[in-house]
Amino acid sequence: MQLQIQEHLLFAWPVLCDFFYKDFVEVTVDNAYGLLALSRQLLVSKLEQYCRSFIAEQLSPANCVANLFEAVRFDDEGVQQDCIALVAAGFQHTYAHTTSGLPPQVMLDILQHPGLAVQCEAQVLEFVVSYVKSTELDETTARKLFQEVRWLFLSNARLTELQAEDAVPRDLLLAGALCRLSVLDQPERSAELNILPRHSYCSTVMHGLPGGCEYVDLPCHHIWELLRPKITVRVSGISEGRAKNVLMGDVHSWFSTNDSQHPPPWIELHMPSNVTILTLDQYTFSHGHHRPSYWRMCWWKTQGGASSCKLPGAAFTDLATKSHQAGNDFTVVQQQAGFALSGWRVVRLVGTGMQQDGVHKLCIKNLKLYGTGVYLYFLN
């Protein structure tokens, strides 16, 4: 009897021999797929099942694309399907992962999976375009992938940009643009064309055709716990604590800026790249010095703008506010009803005079914004 082992499986052979002689094996992320393939080939069912269980325990939305490559390489259909299901379910993150070199059928299986969770159709387009441009495909295969894009639900801006994209079939692009144009005033007509919006789209008809819009408006305070870790805090200087403590509320998080009258102290909150602030109804914060009765803030103003004050040409708009204090807790209310912020990316607090006890410091912790933010989920 002659046993022929493929070259890419040879690394796992010594480990398999240990299992034969000792009835024990150490399965790791480095050898799991090789052992799985060998045990399947040699009908070692006990080890095969153990390897499958090990891989299943390691799978997550964060590593499912990398595991999909391994499952394809070692030709394991079961693990492939598990990975495909995870890629589809976490598509809002996985669409941007590199898929170059995966078999076209695997890509189709992802795009046709019933659990595909797409936030906006631009994610599907990016997924397909990136793959087609990085993988050698014939025209027919590439076309099959592009046919999975629901062109009707791409934004007008996105369709216009695609005119310069050579990888996109011109007839599909033109047909999609004309189809969108025909139902632009009546979004419900998409059902007549048998092109339905995906169940997972985040946008609504108020933003145009469902799926075409790549952003959604959300109350900042509703998503604050998710938004806060992604906000960058910049300050004029530090005399106590760390800049990130401006947003923290635990008892050991203190923050005070440097003591400076000219130039005055400032604190900036920089939104992540996929968030802008449309309205700011109010914000709250607590006194940020470790001695509660010292250096409370009395004089400051609230501003907003598109970039940091440290950048050339940065311009800020003053916001009319009124503050209320209860002990060491402050509430600052915006006074201009219906005032639009024109897409602020930076919220800024600037000292305007002497604070309590004669200092020129801003002492803040546990700051929280209340208003409307635009969340661009395509750049998630």
Q: Are residues 307 and 268 in the same domain?
A: yes
Q: In whole numbers, what is the pLDDT of the chain averaged over residues? A: 85
Preceding omega of 263 cis (within 30 degrees of 0)? yes
* Residue 274 belongs to domain spanning: 220-379
Quickly tell me which residue has 């399907």 as its tokens: 81
Q: Are residues 174 and 287 in the same domain?
A: no
Find the DSSP H helices in 59-152.
64-73, 77-89, 91-94, 104-111, 121-134, 139-146
Q: Are residues 231 and 361 in the same domain?
A: yes
Q: Are residues 230 and 354 in the same domain?
A: yes
Say what the pLDDT of residue 2 is.
46
Contact 316/305 with Cβ under 8 angstroms? yes
* 306 SS3 class: coil
Q: Are residues 176 and 233 in the same domain?
A: no
Question: For the chain, what is the radius of gyration of the CA atoms?
Answer: 28
How many whole angstroms separate alpha carbon 69 and alpha carbon 56?
15
Say what the pLDDT of residue 128 is.
97
Q: What pairs with residue 370 in β-bridges?
A: 282
Last residue within a domain, chosen from 214, 230, 262: 214
Contact 269/231 with Cβ under 8 angstroms? yes
Q: Is residue 17 part of a domain?
A: no
Q: Tens-of-pLDDT digits for all 380 residues of the chain?
A: 445 555 555 555 556 556 655 565 666 666 667 666 666 765 666 666 767 777 787 888 888 999 899 888 878 888 899 999 999 999 988 999 999 999 999 999 999 999 999 989 999 999 999 999 999 999 999 999 999 999 988 988 899 999 999 999 999 999 999 888 888 777 666 667 778 888 888 876 656 677 777 878 888 899 999 899 999 999 999 999 999 999 999 988 999 999 999 999 999 999 988 888 888 899 999 999 988 888 999 999 999 888 777 777 678 889 999 999 999 999 999 887 655 566 788 999 999 999 999 999 999 999 999 988 877 776 55
Q: Are residues 236 and 260 in the same domain?
A: yes
Say what the pLDDT of residue 380 is.
53
- Return phi, psi of residue 258, to 5°: -65, 160
Q: Are residues 263 and 356 in the same domain?
A: yes
Contact 301/310 with Cβ under 8 angstroms? no
Find the DSSP H helices in 275-341.
none
Last residue within a domain, chosen from 168, 186, 214: 214
Contact 347/280 with Cβ under 8 angstroms? yes
Say what the pLDDT of residue 322 is.
93
| Cβ contacts of 378 within 8 Å, gap of 6 or more | 119, 120, 122, 123, 126, 214, 215, 274
What is the domain-level CATH number for residue 319?
Answer: 2.60.120.260
Q: Shortest CA distance to 363 belongs to which of 264, 250, 238, 263? A: 238
| pTM of the shown model | 0.68
How many whole angstroms separate alpha carbon 22 and alpha carbon 9?
20
Q: Are residues 204 and 225 in the same domain?
A: no
At position 259, the amino acid (one-letter code) is: D
What is the side-by-side strand order in the sheet with 216-219?
216-219, 364-375, 275-287, 329-334, 321-326
Last residue within a domain, chosen from 153, 187, 214: 214
Q: What pairs with residue 113 in β-bridges?
A: none
Bridge-based pairing of strands 346-351 and 266-270 is antiparallel
Q: Are residues 329 and 257 in the same domain?
A: yes
Say what the pLDDT of residue 76 is.
84
Q: Shortest CA distance to 228 belongs to which of 201, 256, 250, 257? A: 250
Contact 240/254 with Cβ under 8 angstroms? yes
Contact 32/54 with Cβ under 8 angstroms? yes
Say what the pLDDT of residue 157 is.
87
Q: Are residues 361 and 243 in the same domain?
A: yes
Contact 308/330 with Cβ under 8 angstroms? no
Contact 271/228 with Cβ under 8 angstroms? no
pLDDT digits (tens, 9 = 90+) for 128-137: 999 999 999 9
Q: Are residues 160 and 282 in the same domain?
A: no
Q: Are residues 153 and 301 in the same domain?
A: no
Q: Is residue 194 part of a domain?
A: yes
Total domains in the chain come to 2
